[in-house]
Chain A
Amino acid sequence: MTLDLALQYLVAGLTYGAIYVVVAIGFNIVYSATGIINFAQGEFVMLGGMIAVQASRSMPLPAAIALAVAAAAAVGALVEVAFLRWLRKPTVLRMVVITIGVSILLREGALFLWGEGVRSLPYFTGDEVSSVGILGARISPQVFWVLGTVALIVGALEWFYRRTLLGWEMQACAANKDAASLCGVPVRRLVTLSFAMAAAIGALAGAVVSPITYTSYAAGGPLAIKGFTVAILGGLGNSGGAVAAGLALGVVESFAVSVLPAAYKDVVTLSLLLAVLVVRPSGLFASGEAARLKEF
């Protein structure tokens, strides 16, 4: 493998990996606040792309993306309020099943609204043939938009959790819901907020990556699985771990395609997920004790 080809694979891997990171972080946000894995997380990424494309027909690109993010956040909040909050006997089994049902409904809703076709936003800068040369590899400028956006998301979340009152309250919520509630933290509203945030960042990532990957109504499911794999690998609730694991998975997947038939690309990720769940469900980076503390 020549250097520039390797670099090509690397860049592709980082790009996809960055999206997995965002999905994983979305899982982490909701998991931290509620202990639930929201199977519908992948659908928010899909919705971001689809809504943005729809909106871009009648408004400038930045506005379209902003609308998509807001709309997805609203859907996320709605999902929490309408479905999860009402759950009368919230056992794990039921929450798993209900979020699966919700993800199916979101996907079918997208199919109904937009049909089966693939869509994408136009490239933010340049077009599909423009590229930047780095070390002999040709890289699309959109890649920088993707990586930049994801870095911005990660950075903004870090700032939010570390330096804002709301972020501290959410952390308190995550650590011990009852104690936080006793301290006056509005737990229920924060839970809804966590869903909205997870949906928003997913949508943003979905919009920014759509020129490269295209999006369609069925794009959410595979993304959810990969995002979950990354979240588990990095340790549920551990966003630093998610970043490392996501980028790593993206790159591994990318290089795997050069060795295995393309159809088996998913098998690599899935087998990895199975292996991690079985061997070290607390993730590669977390300590075993930390994982046991969370009610499951």
Chain B
Amino acid sequence: MTRPGLPAPARVALLAVAVVAVQLATQASGRGFYLTQLTMTGYYALVVLGLSLLMGYAGQISLGQAGFFAIGGYAAAFLSTIDVSAQRALPAFALATRMGLLVARPDLYGGTTLGVNPWAGLVLGVGLASGVAFAVGVPVLRLRGHYLAMATLAFGTIVSAVAVGTQRLGAADGISGVPPFPILPGVRIGGGSADRVANYYLAWGLVALAMLLLGNLVRSRTGRALRAIHGAEDAARAMGVDAARMKVRVFVLAAAMAAAAGVLLTHYVGGIGPSEASVMKSVRYVAMVAVGGMGSLWGALSAAAVLEFLSLRGVFGAHDDAVFGGILVLVMLFAPDGILSFRARGIVEKLRGRPARPGEGT
């Protein structure tokens, strides 16, 4: 989608500047605790970005992204909180411990527990979600329209039902006590207020990275092919685009991003519950993509940042769900191409920005 404006690297730089500015502002105003919600917002934004690629560019609706988020999160939570210290003597377990797959942690009573290394949890969580996305995606992405929506909705609901109904996953209470994830020397995801600033930059650093990579993707040959699929799938196929395969790939990518976000957020917050897998969560992600404009990564990011932060701050109160439902309805009625385009139609026409080079603009 060609759009007037800054070239891509400049936009990412601008994002970086904004991220730093926000952090300094919270520090100066003594509202350092905002960083917690801002960090969470960053991770949720990763889910929305993946969905934006899938819905906005490839044109495939998914009402099941929360399911993939939950698969990642629950995998991380489950693996990092199990205790197999009773089996530590067995050869397989001993080997795993030596390899670093299992790590010991002190528990509340002065002993140690033996759980899975968070890195392994990340790989397994994302891997599992990707595998499931592939298995579900291949048959389901052959469907169109309502059928696809319902199939992804069914998938998301299945994950939600399994999360709520399975004792080993904590049933309705979910899993808590998830340890922090020491991801870089000196930086661990989770922890207390001392780690707040580092966590904030880590989360938003990942968001900036995602914007860079996805922005490149959208402007590349693959991005063009995706938009072609969205525009006229038969013609795309006639031009050599393997539409079926590409749709699955983007679906898996979006699922992987959601799962990764799930893993990291679970470590950050220290736990996960079945509400993360709920249909309402999936609907929220869709609402954010819709508000930001279906074909715009930056739009999706902005919408996600604002809406999620407000929601986490409790601004919508008990009517959180109603707000997102209302947003969906209003956007579809009055600004189907996203809020930004709605205003942009009036403003840009007046300013007559220079037309972009082909493929520029996200």
Contacts and interface: CB of A to CB of B under 8 A. Distances in A.
Q: Are A and B close enough to touch in the complex, i.e. CB under 8 Å?
A: yes
B149 interface: yes
B325 interface: yes
A61 interface: no
Interface stretch (A10-18, A70-78, A102-110): A102-110
A123 B322 CA distance: 33
Interface string B147-162: 1011101110110011
Nearest to B61: A93
B329 A105 contact: yes
Task: Report, as a range, how many residues of chain A touch the other chain.
Answer: 35 or more
A107 B63 CA distance: 18
Given A104-B322, A296-B144, A94 B158 contact: no
Contacts of B324: 104
Nearest to B149: A96
Contacts of B63: 100
B79 interface: no
A264 B59 contact: no
Contacts of B336: 88-89, 94
Nearest to A262: B165
Contact of B325 (A87, A108, A271): A108
Nearest to A279: B139
A278 B140 contact: yes
B150 A273 contact: yes
B286 interface: yes
* Residue of A37, A104, A108 with highest tally of chain B CB at under 10 A: A104
B279 interface: yes
A37 B142 CA distance: 19
B321 interface: yes
Contacts of A225: 153-154, 157
Given A93-B59, A266-B157, A277 B279 contact: no
A104 B158 contact: no
A104 B283 contact: yes
Contacts of B280: 104
Given A264-B161, A267-B162, A100 B139 contact: no
B332 interface: yes
A264 B165 contact: yes
B332 A228 contact: no
Contact of B327 (A101, A103, A264, A271): A101
Q: Is the interface of A mostly helix, strand, loop or mixed?
A: helix
A101 B332 contact: yes
Interface in A273-296: 273-274, 277-279, 281, 296
A83 interface: yes
A63 interface: no
A20 to B, nearest CB: 15
A106 B324 CA distance: 13
A75 B154 CA distance: 27
A97 B144 contact: no
A237 interface: no
B144 A92 contact: yes
A277 B143 contact: yes
A7 interface: no
Contact of A101 (B140, B142, B279, B326): B326
A101 B162 contact: no
A270 interface: yes
Contact of B333 (A37, A86, A96, A277): A86
Contacts of B151: 273-274, 277-278
* Residue of B61, B319, B328, B332 with highest tally of chain A CB at under 10 A: B332
Contacts of B322: 104-105, 108-109, 112
Nearest to A105: B325
B145 interface: yes
A94 B332 contact: yes
B56 to A, nearest CB: 10
B226 interface: no
Interface string B290-321: 10001000000000000000000000000101
B145 to A, nearest CB: 4
* Residue of A101, A109, A274, A279 with highest tally of chain B CB at under 10 A: A101
A277 B154 CA distance: 10
A98 interface: yes
A98 B161 CA distance: 25
A104 B326 CA distance: 8
A49 interface: no
A241 interface: no
Enumerate the 6 nearest inter-chain pairs by beta-carbon distance, A residue then B residue, closest first: A263-B165, A104-B325, A101-B328, A108-B322, A92-B145, A101-B329
Interface of A: 36-37, 83, 86-89, 92-94, 96-98, 100-105, 107-109, 112, 221, 225, 228, 232, 261, 263-264, 266-267, 270-271, 273-274, 277-279, 281, 296
Given A100-B325, A277-B151, A296-B144, 16 more contacts: A92-B145, A93-B61, A96-B61, A97-B286, A101-B326, A104-B322, A107-B321, A107-B325, A112-B319, A225-B154, A228-B150, A266-B157, A267-B158, A274-B151, A274-B158, A277-B143
19 contacts: A87-B332, A93-B145, A97-B332, A100-B283, A100-B286, A101-B325, A101-B329, A108-B322, A221-B279, A225-B153, A225-B157, A263-B166, A266-B157, A267-B162, A271-B158, A274-B158, A278-B142, A279-B139, A296-B144
